[in-house]
Amino acid sequence: MRVLIVEDEKRLSDNIAGALRDGAGFAVDCAADGEVGSYLASGRFYDAVILDLMLPKLSGFAVLKKMRAEGDLTPVMILTAQGETHTVIELLNAGADDYLSKPFDLGELIARTKALIRRGKGAAHPKLAVADLEVNTLEQTVHRAGRLVDLSPMEYRILEYLIHRPRVTVSKRELLEHLYDYNWEHHSNVIEAHVSNLRKKLDAASEQPSIATLRGRGYRLIVDRDTPE
Amino acid sequence: MIRDAGGGYASSPGSANVLSGRQGRLKKSSITRRLIGTVLLVEIAAAICVSGAVLAFERRAHFRTFDIMLRGRADSILGAVQDAGDPGDNVMVDKTELNLPPDDVYEVRDPSGRIVGRSPNWDGPPDALILPHEDGILSLRLGGKPYRAIRLHGVRVVDPGDKGGGVPRPVTVLYGAPTINVWRAVNAAAEFYAAVNVLLLLITGTVMAWLLSRSLEPLRVLAAEASGVSVNSWSFHPPESALALKELEPLAVALESVMQRLERSFMQQRRFVGDAAHELKTGVAVVKSSLQLLAMKPRTPEEYQAGLERCEADCARMEEMVYEMLTLARIDAAERPAATLVPSDIAGCIRQVADQFSTMASLRQVNIVVLAAEALHVLIRAQECQLLVSNLVLNAIQHSYAQSQVTVSAVSEGDEVVLKVEDRGEGISAAVLPHVFERFFRGDASRDRSTGGTGLGLAICKAIVDQAGGSIEVQSNNDVGTIVTVRLPLVDPA
């Protein structure tokens, strides 16, 4: 999962980014003003946007309205500090999905961001299960047929992204865009290596394959075990 | 009166209530009432004068007619004087051809004073009245009634057909008639004029009340518009009707500009409070999130050490921000330069600040040049003078290129002290320049946040300079440098 933080207070965005990377295993990009934030958000690589309201150049409210006007459905979490010109009601009505008042609890911010991403992808519970595959996004643990599978952070992130979209073919490019932040070198064969390792680890505990490779199109979790591809 | 006349303020019952409540305590005067009163008074005075003049004229005209009538009647009496045909060669008044009103009186005498004829209803005036006098009009009182009489000396030629042209017989006629009817006519005229005047007064009063209420309508509209202004709704557009009135236009325009100024300063204040809340909460959020991030997972002692140092730096920034906000609030709340204020020497201030920043400047390879020899006193507290100079110098050092020079100068120009802080550096872009004095404004987020600016430094400078009755301006060229010029009134050292 990849999250965009638009916040002009560098120390605060560093802290949030650190917490999201360490605590949730997300890829995080930071923008220091509304214009950069709006530009980054328009790429649609993000699974959630954390938006401060009082920003230089372009206000958070304007960034939000621009995103929604362009048809961007990415969940948006607003950071407010009461006393701003826009009320919470106005913000929610303009298309914000959730808000937190400063000073907030970092744990709560992570939990709410996770919930927003989950909801945005159609899941209600932090435990996701597809066939005999089970992913607990809170503990970041994976079970295959009841047995714990030990994954590297990157492998876990790929599986987490795939399990949020169980019937969809996910391209390598999409995985790259949603799992790495801007500071990462983009090489699609990195993804191939990680997926290969992930498949090996998952299938070691079962006789059925877990991830299908669709040549030239991407990857897909195998949901229906009776008719493997 | 205004409210009675138009039943106004219907659109804002709240204000009408307040108004009537105030009316109870205070006897209010009304322009309408005063105007109508004045006009009616003037009109009454004019009516009295005109009526008096007209009455005098009427009276004169009537009496002139009356006198002509008297003369005519006296003449006809004279014509009725005939030879009496008696041995004494006397004359008499032949009453048969006379047709006179029954109330009139007359008497005819010959020069010897003998009564030639007399009306039956009169026993004659005293002799003194009739004989020796010239012709003329005189007033009498007969039987308690006023009479006006004419005295006519005439010569009646008896038997003009005789040889020698007849005998001339001089006689004196005194003819009187009661003036009661004249007075009655004059009084009738007076009554008519009085009635017309009263009617005129009534019409004038009504028309004036109506006209005034109509022409005061724009005032009511203006009042209704003004009463709609509140803290939450500052929109005030003077109604066209008020702007079209020469007398009301200055008031409407003044009201509009006052509202605009009020709104601006109110919005500024509100924005400052909002910005301050945002900055403070963000500051707290930084400290809190730093600590929570540190506690999220077990870390090595080195990581804890580094994290705690960051937290301390965050706290120091918060502290600085709170200090600057309080400084700004204190300067804002302070009185205009008070007489009790001890003037500070700005040149000394500059040398002190240059000393203070010399280490920092040499670390950044910036050379500070001070051009301030003579002591120049300004009416600013020493602490604030220091703050003003150090904020400007710190800005200059932070935005200077390495190996460059920051020049701080103070000279007197007439009755002013001109303080200049000049740097060679990245400068300020034209888009940012107009906003540099705004509170919490940062030219560039990434740059100023990282240098630890709170966005209040220049706002504080402006507040200090404004408080002292001076001016501050910034000239800047991108990639060339910035010159900040402060002008302050020069004072004598206490």
Query: Per residue of chain B (494 residues), what is the pLDDT tens digit?
Result: 344 444 444 444 444 444 444 445 566 788 888 888 898 899 899 988 988 898 899 889 988 999 999 899 888 888 888 777 676 667 777 777 777 888 888 888 887 777 888 887 777 666 556 656 677 888 878 777 888 888 888 887 777 666 666 778 788 888 888 888 888 888 888 888 889 989 998 998 899 889 888 888 888 888 888 888 887 787 888 888 888 888 888 888 898 898 888 888 888 788 788 778 888 888 888 889 889 888 888 889 998 999 899 889 888 888 888 888 888 888 877 766 566 678 888 898 999 899 988 888 888 888 999 988 888 888 888 888 888 999 999 888 888 888 889 999 999 888 899 999 999 988 888 888 888 888 777 665 444 444 556 778 888 898 889 888 889 999 988 888 899 999 998 888 76
Closest CA of chain B from A193, distance in Å: 29
For chains A and B, CB pairs below 8 A equal 87
Nearest to B282 among A19, A81, A105 (CB): A81
pLDDT digit string, tens, across residues A6-46: 998 888 899 999 999 888 888 899 998 889 999 999 988 89
Chain A CB contacts of B442 under 8 Å are 8, 56
Whole-number pLDDT of residue B6: 40
| Chain A contact present for B444, CB below 8 A | yes
A80 strand-pairing partners: A101
Closest CA of chain A from B322, distance in Å: 16
Does the CA dihedral B445-B447-B449-B453 come out positive or negative? Answer: negative
Taking Cα atoms as reference points, which of A74, A84, A1 lies closest to residue A64?
A: A74
Whole-number pLDDT of residue A62: 92
Whole-number pLDDT of residue B78: 84
Question: Hey, are the CB atoms on A105 and B314 less than 8 Å from each other?
Answer: no
Q: What is the pTM (predicted TM-score) of this model?
A: 0.59
Chain A CB contacts of B286 under 8 Å are 9, 11-12, 15
**Chain B residue closest to A21 (CA)?**
B293
Residue A66's contacts (CB-CB under 8 Å, 6 or more residues apart) are A38, A58
Residue B395's contacts (CB-CB under 8 Å, 6 or more residues apart) are B421, B457, B458, B482, B484
Q: Half-sphere exposure (CA, 13 Å, Cβ side) for B357? A: 27
Closest CA of chain B from A25, distance in Å: 13
| Chain A contact present for B275, CB below 8 A | yes
Question: Hey, are the CB atoms on A105 and B292 less than 8 Å from each other?
Answer: yes
Residue at B76: amino acid letter: S
CA–CA distance, B472 with B484 (Å, rounded to integer): 7
Substitution target from B281, B310, B454 for chain A, most A beta carbons within 10 A = B281
Which A positions 120-139 lie with beta carbon below 8 A of chain B?
none
Does the CA dihedral B189-B192-B194-B196 come out positive or negative? Answer: negative
Whole-number pLDDT of residue A96: 92
Contact indicator for B477, B427 with CB cutoff of 8 Å:
yes
Q: Nearest-5° angle of CA A141, CA A143, CA A149? A: 75
Closest CA of chain A from B491, distance in Å: 41
Closest CA of chain A from B434, distance in Å: 14
| Count of residues in chain B | 494
Chain B CB contacts of A84 under 8 Å are 274, 278
Provide the 8-state DSSP code for B96.
G
Closest CA of chain B from A205, distance in Å: 30
Whole-number pLDDT of residue B421: 92
| Chain B contact present for A108, CB below 8 A | no
Query: What percentage of chain A has pLDDT greater than the value 90?
Result: 24
Whole-number pLDDT of residue A39: 92
Chain B CB contacts of A31 under 8 Å are none
CA–CA distance, A113 with B376 (Å, rounded to integer): 59
| Chain A contact present for B297, CB below 8 A | yes
Question: Hey, are the CB atoms on B282 and A16 less than 8 Å from each other?
Answer: no
Taking Cα atoms as reference points, which of A1, A26, A32, A36 lies closest to residue A14?
A: A32
Band (A225; pLDDT cuts 50, 70, 90): low
**B27, B201, B205, B300 from B50: Cα distances, Å:** 36, 14, 19, 113
**Chain A residue closest to B313 (CA)?**
A11
Chain A CB contacts of B310 under 8 Å are 11
Whole-number pLDDT of residue B445: 47
Contact indicator for B420, B441 with CB cutoff of 8 Å:
no
Whole-number pLDDT of residue B164: 66
**B3, B30, B165, B190, B334 from B203: Cα distances, Å:** 21, 20, 70, 20, 61
pLDDT digit string, tens, across residues A118-149: 888 887 788 888 888 888 888 888 988 888 88
pLDDT digit string, tens, across residues A49-106: 999 988 888 888 999 999 999 999 999 999 887 656 677 888 899 999 999 988 899 9
Taking Cα atoms as reference points, which of A201, A192, A103 lies closest to residue A149?
A: A201
Instruction: Kindly calculate the radius of gyration of chain A based on its CA atoms and give it in whole angstroms.
Output: 18
Tokens standing for B487? 């002008």
Nearest to A81 among B281, B310, B314 (CB): B281
Which B positions 196-235 lie with beta carbon below 8 A of chain A?
none
| Chain B contact present for A31, CB below 8 A | no
Question: Hey, are the CB atoms on B278 and A107 less than 8 Å from each other?
Answer: no
CA–CA distance, A168 with A217 (Å, rounded to integer): 11
Closest CA of chain B from A224, distance in Å: 39
